[in-house]
């Protein structure tokens, strides 16, 4: 969900207004995805690299995260979403971690769209974490297979993504789901995240549906 700060600058607003608008837009998209027959939605909320930003911006982002979690808790009973979180959650304040745990536990049995929020997440961190778990738990006399490795990643219970959409015009993965995205279709759009709406999402899905996915085969 890239481009919040650039959207704010383009609209002569302080950067935090871009982040605020971006958070509002996330719920607008979430509220519409059930009509699009999507089963899974994973969003990159806060990366391991985002800690490099100014203390002032990080402070605002943490405040916004807390508000977003409060908003999410209020909406839990309005839908059947299963909401899960991936990433290193240890650096967050206790009140944030408590809310994350409450949301996870409360929605765990839900059968609707699975929404994954990546918080303090990095694809390399995910891979290294998986390797460390393997070193502790895996039978070292056996060769590890791809499926075995996936079982140690943060998205072990989810299928690999079909489609990645990145807003904001940048054409790179930026350390997102590096293991998971091996055969994912990629779409990069120039619109900033606060301007990304349901129609744009529908257009991306229509683009995806026209693609022929060969997975290395000839057909």
Known catalytic residues? Answer: 2, 50
CA atoms of 182 and 149, how far apart (whole Å)? 14
Is residue 179 a contact partner of residue 126, using CB atoms and an 8 Å limit?
yes
In DSSP notation, 97-127 reads HHHHHHHHHHHTT--S-EEEEEEEE-HHHHH
Query: Long-range contact list for 94-102, CB < 8 A, 24+ apart?
Result: 95/66, 96/62, 96/65, 96/66, 96/69, 99/66, 99/69, 99/70, 99/73, 100/69, 102/73
Cα-based distances in Å from 171 to 36, 165, 178? 25, 10, 15
Across-strand partners of 166?
188
């Amino acid at each position: 969900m890239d481009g919040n700060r650039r959207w704010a600058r383009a609209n002569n607003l302080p950067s935090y207004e871009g982040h605020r608008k971006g958070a509002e837009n996330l719920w607008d998209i979430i509220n519409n995805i059930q009509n699009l027959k999507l089963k899974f939605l994973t969003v990159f909320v806060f990366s391991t690299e985002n800690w490099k930003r100014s203390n002032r911006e990080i402070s605002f982002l943490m405040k916004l995260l807390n508000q977003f979690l409060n908003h999410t808790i209020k909406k839990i009973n309005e839908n059947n979403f299963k909401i899960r979180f991936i990433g290193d959650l240890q650096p967050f304040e206790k009140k944030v971690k408590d809310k994350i745990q409450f949301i996870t536990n409360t929605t765990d049995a839900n059968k609707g769209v699975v929404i994954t929020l990546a918080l303090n997440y990095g694809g390399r961190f995910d891979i290294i974490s998986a390797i460390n778990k393997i070193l502790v738990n895996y039978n070292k006399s056996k060769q590890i297979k791809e499926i075995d490795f996936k079982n140690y990643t943060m998205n072990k219970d989810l299928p690999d993504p079909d489609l990645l959409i990145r807003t904001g015009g940048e054409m790179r993965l930026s350390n997102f789901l590096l293991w998971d995205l091996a055969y994912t279709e990629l779409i990069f759009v120039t619109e900033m995240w606060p301007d990304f709406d349901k129609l744009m999402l529908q257009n991306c899905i229509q683009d995806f549906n026209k693609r022929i996915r060969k997975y290395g085969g000839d057909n």
